[in-house]
Amino acid sequence: MISIFHVENRIEANMNRDQVKVKSDELFDFTKQTLIHAGLSKKDASITSKVLLTADKRGIASHGVARLNRYLTAIDNGVIIPNASIELIKETPVSMVIDGHGGMGAVVSYKTMQKCIEKAKKNYMCFASVRNSNHYGIAGFYSLMALRENLIGFSATNSAPLVVPTFAKDAVIGTNPISIGFPGKNAPFLLDMATSTVPRGKLEVYARDEKEIPLVWATDKHGVPTKDAPKVLENVLYRKGGGLLPLGGSEEKTGGHKGYGLSVMVDLLTGGLSGGAMATEVYGRKNHPSGVCHFFGVIHPDAFCGLKSVETQVEMMISLLKGLSPSKGNHQVFVAGEKEFIAEKKCEKEVLLQRKVFETLQKIGSKNGLCLQSSDSEKN
Amino acid sequence: MISIFHVENRIEANMNRDQVKVKSDELFDFTKQTLIHAGLSKKDASITSKVLLTADKRGIASHGVARLNRYLTAIDNGVIIPNASIELIKETPVSMVIDGHGGMGAVVSYKTMQKCIEKAKKNYMCFASVRNSNHYGIAGFYSLMALRENLIGFSATNSAPLVVPTFAKDAVIGTNPISIGFPGKNAPFLLDMATSTVPRGKLEVYARDEKEIPLVWATDKHGVPTKDAPKVLENVLYRKGGGLLPLGGSEEKTGGHKGYGLSVMVDLLTGGLSGGAMATEVYGRKNHPSGVCHFFGVIHPDAFCGLKSVETQVEMMISLLKGLSPSKGNHQVFVAGEKEFIAEKKCEKEVLLQRKVFETLQKIGSKNGLCLQSSDSEKN
């Protein structure tokens, strides 16, 4: 799996002072035990930990164990209901409607995707629309589940209303990510993208660094593009107006209506088809289940020209793209999923956590009598 | 169907001096007869005319009868093969692989979508990947076919390599549009968007008007963002380097890698799944069939919570969006498909053509003994 992308095999290459190295197995166990303490069954705690850790391994720290504290608070507040029953509302040979009844997003999603994979193996494809779930982690996790079985995978979710529709003043739609994965001979093509230009986390980083943000990222309380990250974050928090911009920015001239359209498409595939929450209904009631909705899809390559053909085509496409001359000032062209694929190769045994995240986890652990060590400290 | 969007019912409202009014029926007949002269069967000529005219009615003039001349040239050059046999390569209850054998894109696509609709009515959904077709007009036409039957419709196509991947110097992927339509109570949600920031036609308009283009539209021959539209058009024509930018522009910071990822996704759904042409293979050989590939999908609402539920959710979403306060300097928020829906209401009986397009059509007509009149001239 390594030939097509260049993998630098030392985790230290990217490490900086604000980071702490932790053994993947230990972090997995720590997360799992913490979730069991919070009321999840062993199996559900294991699934959730796997979803979170996969994000850290793939370099998407914002959706990794850094979320654990928020998940615990959500359990405390009644937003996430541990071990909620997952209800199959409707089923056809190629589709399902699922009600998560406020359960842990990763658990509802993992189990739904597993069933989709089973059904696609029998009936060529399966699509599922899910209501009443919660934050499900990285969208790409579920496409990866399909890829591991040599199937084409699709996943999307709606989310908290942080994004402003084109020409609107207020944020009413989510960053609503979509992911699609196609199996390849040496590496898959795996797209995993928010339909906003950037997620909220990016603004937090810029605010912390006191840097101005590009004008295609967010608007002020009047709906006018702004460079002021701290102000946007405050406005969003207190619903004063403005918010994140859809992919393409604030104008039709720059294609903002397209990102906006994709975000609404996700709302309709998720909440629309499942009869669940959309737009401002998501996280609409404090201390109640968030109502987050998902959409999953699995297509068997045999529905079309078969696995070999798909793998060959994906390989051809990746080879073409990786072989391109870079534009002035750039060094190489990347393919969707490549950076994450390389990160995961590097972080199989150890992951890097932000020191702040590591310290929060230690605090959580101390409440439950659980210990989390950095692998640096072991060496000393 | 009118209550939800405001329809200004006089076509003259938007008319300008460079435009000519033509009766829809007459334009349809003219286009059809011209295509019959060019060798298409009556049925195929009728389908193609319908696809082209729908674009004009919906205000997407770049994909309307303005394309007729190019189609005729393509027939002359062996790029489009009139009345090519459409071959069903593979079929399952929910999928098809089709080979268009170089036929007229609109015909291959219309017939494929019709079969998808039939199959979705029986088996809840159907997806088709099509190879060896040609330019198929507006992506939205095929979603509209599904919407007319109260089904969810999806369509995408690859296209000539005019777009540069993020960080690449040369254009190797297409503007690869996607369209998805959900039926609503009073109006549908109908997204129809190129995955590039703008199509080539937009640069042509700016070049004609001697206006600078925004830096998220295109790159120069070194792959650096440029404001110089005529230069980009020349570079693209002679493959000197550079080209259109994906939705999101040239940088990862502005989300350009997302538009690039969506474009590659379309290549994989179309050429990837059908075993057809992708990227630079599309229009890869002069005076040969273009190899353009498509992807179509139809989902029956009964696969999920049924038509009533979908319609209600779509209505709720549209009402929410139309009810939003506009941002400073703007007057209203639009919903995907709204502008085209309104245009089509206005242009049921008469469409507006650019005078240049009208004159080209008249020239084409004179060769075949066909006459096209403006409806203004009738009144005089």
Q: Which residue has the tokens 């319609």?
A: B311
CB-based contact B305 A271, cutoff 8 Å = no
**Strand pairing of A178-182 and A189-193?**
antiparallel
pLDDT of residue B262: 98
| Superfamily (CATH) of domain A198-244 | Hypothetical oxidoreductase yiak; domain 3 (3.30.60.50)
- Identify which of B254, B259, B314 has the shortest CB distance to residue A214: B254
Does the structure show a pLDDT above 70 at B10? no
pLDDT of residue B85: 97
pLDDT, tens only, B345-367? 988 899 999 999 999 999 999 99
A2 pLDDT band (50/70/90 cuts)?
Answer: very low
pLDDT of residue B5: 75
pLDDT of residue B17: 74
Domain residue limits, chain A: 198-244
Largest CA distance in chain B: 58
CA B202, chain centre distance (Å)? 14
Average pLDDT over residues B105-124: 98
Smallest CA-to-CA distance from B79 within B49, B102, B45, B52 is with B102
Distance CA A300, CA A22 (A): 37
pLDDT, tens only, A136-188? 999 999 999 999 999 999 999 999 999 999 999 999 999 999 999 999 999 99
What DSSP character marks residue B214?
P
pLDDT of residue A378: 55
pLDDT of residue A8: 57
B138 pLDDT band (50/70/90 cuts)?
Answer: very high
Give A265's contacts in chain B (Cβ within 8 Å). 180, 189, 191, 336
Phi–psi pair at B305, nearest 5 degrees? -95, 10
Chain B nearest-CA residue for A217: B254
CB-based contact A324 B219, cutoff 8 Å = no
Does the structure show a pLDDT above 90 at B201? no
pLDDT of residue B1: 39
Interface ipTM above 0.90 = yes
Smallest CA-to-CA distance from B203 within B236, B179, B178, B171 is with B236
Residue window 140-199, chain B: list those with CB within 8 Å of chain A: 164-170, 172, 180, 182, 189, 191, 193, 197-198
Distance CA B271, CA B274 (A): 5
Percentage of chain B exceeding pLDDT 70: 95
CB-based contact B249 A254, cutoff 8 Å = yes
**Strand pairing of B218-219 and B243-244?**
antiparallel
Distance CA A175, CA B331 (A): 24
Lowest mean pLDDT among A82-91, B106-115, B171-180, B347-356: B347-356
Identify the residue with better confidence: B4 or A318: A318
- Identify which of A90, A265, A326 has the shortest CB distance to residue B167: A326
* Termini Cα distance of chain B: 34
pLDDT, tens only, A287-305? 999 999 999 999 999 999 9
Identify the residue with better confidence: B109 or B10: B109
Smallest CA-to-CA distance from B181 within B248, B117, B92, B99 is with B117
- The structure tokens listed for A293 are 């909705």
pLDDT, tens only, A272-289? 999 999 999 999 999 999
Q: Quote the mean pLDDT of chain B.
A: 94
Q: Which helix (H) or strand (E) holds B264?
A: helix B256-267
Average pLDDT over residues A223-238: 95
- pTM, full prediction: 0.96
Phi–psi pair at A262, nearest 5 degrees? -65, -40
